[in-house]
């Protein structure tokens, strides 16, 4: 029997070690200064999938075999 972990999960991508079960999470990655007014600051936002180790486990495991059946 296969151990239920991120490394054998349908949603896991080994490179770059991310889980794609849900959409990426938006995060503030920096602050940019406004061009018209130096006192005006605007957040720089990007979105990321959660980084996971292959030995991790979140509780929403789906066997990797299902990946093969979908294609």
pLDDT at 61: 93
What does the block give as tokens for 39? 């006192």
pLDDT per residue of the chain (71 residues) written in tens, 0 to 9 = 778 999 999 999 999 999 999 999 999 999 887 666 667 788 899 999 999 999 999 889 999 875 555 54
Bin 68: left if φ > 0, else alpha if -120 < ψ < 50, else beta: alpha
Strand-pairing partners, residue 51, are 18
> What whole-number distance in Å separates Cα of residue 71 and Cα of residue 68?
6
* Predicted local confidence at residue 2, as pLDDT: 75
Residue-level pLDDT at 71: 47
């Amino acid at each position: 029997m296969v151990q239920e972990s991120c490394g054998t999960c349908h949603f896991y991508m080994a490179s770059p070690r991310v889980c794609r079960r849900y959409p990426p999470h938006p995060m503030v990655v920096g602050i940019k200064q406004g061009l018209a007014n130096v006192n005006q600051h605007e957040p720089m936002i990007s979105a990321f999938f959660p980084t996971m180790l292959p030995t991790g486990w979140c509780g929403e495991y789906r066997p990797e075999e299902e990946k093969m059946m979908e294609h």
